[in-house]
Amino acid sequence: MTLKMLLVDEEQLALLQKQTIEKELGYHVDCTEEANQARKLIENNDYQVLMIDPLKLGIVLSPNALRTKLIKEARRRNILVIISSYQSQKDLLSCCGLIYGRDYQVFFEKPYYFEEIRSALRKIV
């Protein structure tokens, strides 16, 4: 079985990551930069991993924001959530209310090296 991953980030960065993950790890990767599209994809597909930069989506609004709904829907479906952001984990907590362990299981502060993603995915998937 091929692991399915949804990557939600800026289009150019997501496409580069998608190509690398598919080539290096053999995973199937869908990508979008739209939160609404990401939610629809999660509802209609069987993903094992969601990798998202919540601050790049421009949806840091309130606990009821689409960002929170997207992550909660992923967690409800037992999808592993990876956060990749230029913000620190402390900043994610203060501005987004995202809590490590509850809302996401892996965090990468950008910029990061692909080897970090590879290592984390191999340990948790």
φ/ψ region of 26 (left if φ > 0, alpha if ψ in -120 to 50, else beta) reads left
Domain spans, the chain: 4-124
pLDDT tens-digit series, residues 76-119: 999 999 888 887 888 777 777 778 888 888 888 877 777 888 88
Distance of CA 14 to the CA centre of its chain: 10
Mean pLDDT of 15-21: 81
More confident residue, 31 or 63: 31
- What pLDDT score was predicted for residue 58? 52
Alpha carbon distance 43, 56 (integer Å): 22
Spatial CA neighbour of 16 closest among 73, 97, 90, 84: 84
User: How is domain 4-124 classified at the architecture level of CATH?
Assistant: 3-Layer(aba) Sandwich (3.40)
**pLDDT reading at 62 higher than 60:** no
CA atoms within 13 A on the CB side of 101: 0
User: Please, which residues have CB within 8 angstroms of residue 69's CB and are 6 or more apart in sequence?
Assistant: 39
pLDDT averaged over the chain?
80
pLDDT for residue 65: 65
| Cβ proximity of 55 and 10 under 8 Å | no
